[in-house]
Structure 1
């Protein structure tokens, strides 16, 4: 690769780049489930900006290019909900998703208000790569919910 990937907090100026990357990354999920109307593919730029303002987001850059991102929010019970962990298709299977997951967990573990008690995320039941990564990082299935004839969401959690 020649360059190292750096991870930093996302800001408002990153929103458009994150949305484009999100659209690219979720194509494979849409294909896997035969549903191109999933929320990550229909989310507006304004909705993404609102998400960035509500929680905390990280981006990974290769040079100036955003190549990965993750977002999370914490509620008053101490549950940190991790959402939309995305890695550019050409950089998958190089440990970047795991690095981002570790970084977002560290951020919330260090934030005293509210204190993180658990980390929670979800993915589709056919998303084997995602499930493998999350289980390797210590997440365990706590719930499943059928949301359509082709999709069951798997919720995973681990203690902070």
Structure 2
């Protein structure tokens, strides 16, 4: 009998597992750009623990194993900065990245009233760009990040609330 993948908030004791998975997942990005000094590969455990304490971090688990993660924070203007969407290499191409992204968007909309989602990826990261576009993200800018890497910033507006200003459920089509 197979196990189901669950997505829920990261637990403090999972920080080391998340960091190890991050290191594994970003090897392909580092290779693609010829730069192994990218921030996801140099982040410390203490820095990750600080993110767990101050931001939103979701993990995907297969049983007790952390096989994916995504992080976010909401700015004062209501825009949500989403980052470090990772999925274990053996679990890729099964829709898990999309599930994680949708889960963090829903959480940020419900708990922090996020109005817009923003993320970035490298200009040569074709699979990432394809995923984000398929989920409604559109490029809004590109900026050089050194060593042959341009970061593509992508955004999408948050879906309208399920309630109107009167608090009643909005009619569905």
TM-score tier after normalising by the smaller chain length: over 0.9
Q: Counterparts of 1:2-151 in structure 2 under 5 Å?
A: 2-111=2-111, 113=112, 115-151=113-149
**How far apart in 2 are the matches of 1:83 and 1:116?**
15
**Runs of 4+ displaced beyond 3 Å:** none
Gaps of 5+ in 2: 159-173
**How far apart in 1 are the matches of 2:87 and 2:100?**
9
**How far apart in 2 are the matches of 1:133 and 1:2?**
26
**How far apart in 1 are the matches of 2:75 and 2:20?**
28
Gaps of 5+ in 1: none
List per-residue Cα deviations over 1:63-115 (Å, max 9, x = no partner).
Answer: 1100000000001100100010000000001000000000000001101x4x2
Q: Which has the higher strand share?
A: 1
How many residue pairs get aligned? The number is 158
Q: Which has the larger radius of gyration?
A: 2
**How far apart in 1 are the matches of 2:40 and 2:146?**
17
**How far apart in 2 are the matches of 1:135 and 1:152?**
17
**How far apart in 2 are the matches of 1:106 and 1:136?**
17
